[in-house]
Structure 1
């Protein structure tokens, strides 16, 4: 990879991620950290407002924009394929938000790429043999609650019984398994972390009230195979 290609790639990465360290960039491009330092200086000399946060990494000044990126045919195909996989999700808000985002992304495709992506879209399908029809429409809202540390009130129906309960929770993480989205949250009723299926949440309300970050680790949570009953 030439230096120019690497500089363009670094700039694209800086636009796509809040913080990048010199070590991350060095490993990604298989060059020395000293080379990355030189690349950052080149970007600064070219007028790119790279901000160095001591001990954390590099970021771009808020509001800085670059020309739309160009997608290769394989990258466009990957997005089309992802769209079909996401349509298998049981959460309508997730499907809707992804399709709106993809529409914006497609707007920067070259005409030749657009034509081929439309052809692929007509000739690709993901079959789902599961017949379960229960779905949710809350994923997008809970994603916002996680990143903004908002308390949420929910009415929850347990999976194996008809028991319903009111909970005040601190949403921490999400994962998907067997086309079902699972929310991990600190439950104030149980005074512990609990797993909630989104399709079992009958009603919810995102509160303006904020909670303190508990530094939850999804990896550590999954090390415990005996998930507590919600």
Structure 2
């Protein structure tokens, strides 16, 4: 990788607003940590607003932007496939946003890349997901972001009805169905609820703050400890 390309990639990794270590950058870019330290120092000297220090990590202050980036052939395929899957299996607002994002990306691509974007033949039929489920998905996504305590009328796999109030923490897609991960106030533990089994869903008007032992990371740690997933499995994915 050319040094200019590596500097560009460092900026892209740091734009997410999360603290990133030199070790992680070095692993992703396949260079030494010493090289990362030099590159970051050079970026800082040119005015790129990167904060942090060696041994702790680096983060980029908000407000810094670059000209539109170029995409490789495989990146274009991934973007189109991802947008179409969200359009097929996401909420109504998610689907609309995915299509709008593709339009914005298309406007900044050169002609050859734009032609490639239009020629991707990867589809995701959406015949199994109802409009009601899509609306619930959007509502739960906002509840996760805004930390809204939410009351659910739920029917489990055996047909038993129950009322629960949860702290919605995250959403999982299982290749055909969605679940919301939440801290259940009734059970005082983590629970997963299938969205297609939720009857009514109402914000209680209360909000919650993350507490130790009740966060999404704690849920992931519990899953690993119980052997539900392999040790070392990265739920968040690289750079996400």
Shorter-chain-normalised TM-score: which range?
0.7 to 0.9
Paired position in structure 2 for 1:141: 139
Question: What 5-or-longer segments of structure 2 have no aligned partner?
Answer: 229-240
Counterparts of 1:31 and 1:133, CA distance in 2: 45
Select the structure with the greater relative contact order (CA < 8 A; seq sep ≥ 6): 1
The two structures have a TM-score, normalised by structure 2, of 0.78
Q: Residue in 1 aligned with 2:158?
A: 160
Is contact 1:136-1:199 (8 Å) kept? no
Give 1:205's match in structure 2, choosing from 202, 205, 210.
202
Alignment TM-score, normalising by the size of structure 1: 0.81
- CA–CA separation in structure 2 for the residues paired with 1:73 and 1:178: 25
CA 1:164–1:103 in 2, change beyond 3 Å: closer, same or farther? farther
Q: Conserved in 2, the CA contact under 8 Å of 1:170 and 1:211?
A: no
**Does the aligned pair in 1 maintain the 2:180–2:195 contact within 8 Å?**
yes
Instruction: For residue 123 of structure 2, give the secondary structure of its aligned residue in structure 1.
Output: coil
What per-residue deviation string (whole Å, max 9, x for no partner) do you get for residues 16-53 of structure 1?
35221111011112222111111011001111011116
Aligned length: 221
Note if contact 1:153-1:167 (Cα within 8 Å) is conserved in structure 2: yes
**Kept after mapping to 2: 8 A contact 1:173/1:183:** yes
Identify the match of residue 176 of structure 2 among 179, 182, 193: 179
Q: 1:201 to 1:50 in 2, by over 3 A?
A: same
Partner of 2:237: none
Give runs of aligned pairs for residues 96-115 of structure 1, distance below 5 A: 96-115=96-115
Asked if the contact 2:90/2:137 (under 8 Å) is kept, the reply is: no
Q: Which residue of 2 aligns with 1:169?
A: 166
Distance 1:53 1:42, change over 3 A: closer
Tell whether the 8 Å contact from 1:93 to 1:139 is kept in structure 2 after alignment.
Answer: no
Give the Cα separation in 2 of the matches to 1:225 and 1:30. 31
- Give 1:3's aligned residue: 3
Q: Which residue does 2:32 correspond to in 1?
A: 32
* 1:178 Cα deviation from its structure 2 partner: 3.6
Q: Please show how residues 66-81 of structure 1 align to structure 2 within 5 Å.
A: 66-81=66-81
Change (3 A) 1:57 1:148: farther
Greater CA drift, 177-186 or 141-150:
141-150
